[in-house]
Amino acid sequence: AVEYETIRVEQRGRVGWITLDRPEALNALNTRSMTEVVAAATAFDDAPDVGAIVVTGSEKAFAAGADIKEMEGKSGLEMSLSDHFGAWGRFAAVRTPVIAAVSGYALGGGCELALMCDIILASDRAKFGQPEIQLGVIPGMGGTQRLVRALGYYKAAELVLTGRMIDAGEAERVGLVSRVVPAADLLNEADAVARTIAEKPLPALYAAKAALDVALESTLAEGLRFERQAFFALFDTADQKEGMAAFREKRPPNFTNR
């Protein structure tokens, strides 16, 4: 079994939970925590009995960024040769739907980790921002690209160029979060959303997430072709036959994730 130092990992029913747990650094993401989050997420992705993953932090901090103290002394060459942040690509490539349950600070790499998830639930105490400019750098875990796609150019540019922090209400208005809930309800809501997803048929969940991802990185024509092929392919799954038979027979479906 893997020994995690910076996260807590638990499977509850069909939902995999990853809780960032470096309270002394407000869950700042160092190489160790990146390796652990990626290992836990890919292990859940490989588990046939996991249909949704939740990533969360504490009430005070989802994650206050990449670990500044770890990066401070490095040269550009060292950062490049070690492909610093490179492993996050494997987190973003997880096929299983991932829900970020965010309370407190989601700054820099913390905000970018949330942006790699499919659904962002925020507590009313969440604060988002990309403060890297104030450190003499820029977002390095996808912020400039995913914020522009999620919020549009002008809102993204304002956040990245000023480093200004926004609260949960503003984050919801600009489309950075899926939904805001009271802080006390955050984990229950995340669990409810994750369970709702996790009981859906896995082949369709994978196809839906893959098609949504293609929308962010292709032309409309390419995306439509991908969607149609994925839609056709699902007609070879047992769960499509079951889902449609259950509808016709007016009964709940009994999916087998095949």
Give me the active site residues, please. Answer: 66, 109, 112, 132
CB of 26 to ligand CAA, least distance (A): 4
Q: Which residues are paired to 9 by β-bridges?
A: 18
Listed ranges 8-16, 22-30, 187-195, 223-231: which one lies at the site for ligand CAA (CB under 6 A): 22-30
Contacts to ligand CAA from residues 66-95, by CB under 6 A: 66-69
Q: Which two tokens stand for residue 123?
A: 């507590």
Give the closest residue to 85 by CA, choosing from 131, 11, 141, 26: 141
Contact residues for 70 (Cβ-Cβ < 8 A; gap 6+): 30, 31
Listed ranges 25-33, 166-174, 190-198, 215-223: which one lies at the site for ligand CAA (CB under 6 A): 25-33
- Is residue 109 near ligand CAA by the rule CB under 6 A? yes
Q: How far is CA 154 from CA 13, 26, 75, 149, 158, in A?
A: 41, 29, 32, 11, 6
- Is residue 107 near ligand CAA by the rule CB under 6 A? yes
Q: Which two tokens stand for residue 79?
A: 């950062």
- Is residue 57 near ligand CAA by the rule CB under 6 A? no
Q: Which residues are paired to 29 by β-bridges?
A: 66
Listed ranges 49-57, 135-143, 207-215, 229-237: which one lies at the site for ligand CAA (CB under 6 A): 135-143
Q: Which two tokens stand for residue 204?
A: 């369709």
Site map (CB under 6 A) of ligand CAA, residues 136-175, x = contact: ---xxx-x--------------------------------
With CB under 6 A as the contact rule, the residue among 25, 38, 147, 177 that binds ligand CAA is 25
User: Helices 220-233 and 202-217 meet at what angle, rounded to 10?
Assistant: 170
CB of 114 to ligand CAA, least distance (A): 12
| Residue 128 amino acid letter | F
Closer Cβ to ligand CAA, 26 or 204, answer by number: 26
CB of 142 to ligand CAA, least distance (A): 8
Q: Which residues are paired to 105 by β-bridges?
A: 61, 127
Contact residues for 31 (Cβ-Cβ < 8 A; gap 6+): 67, 70, 84
Contact positions vs ligand CAA (CB under 6 A): 25-26, 28, 64-69, 105, 107-109, 112, 131-132, 135, 139-141, 143
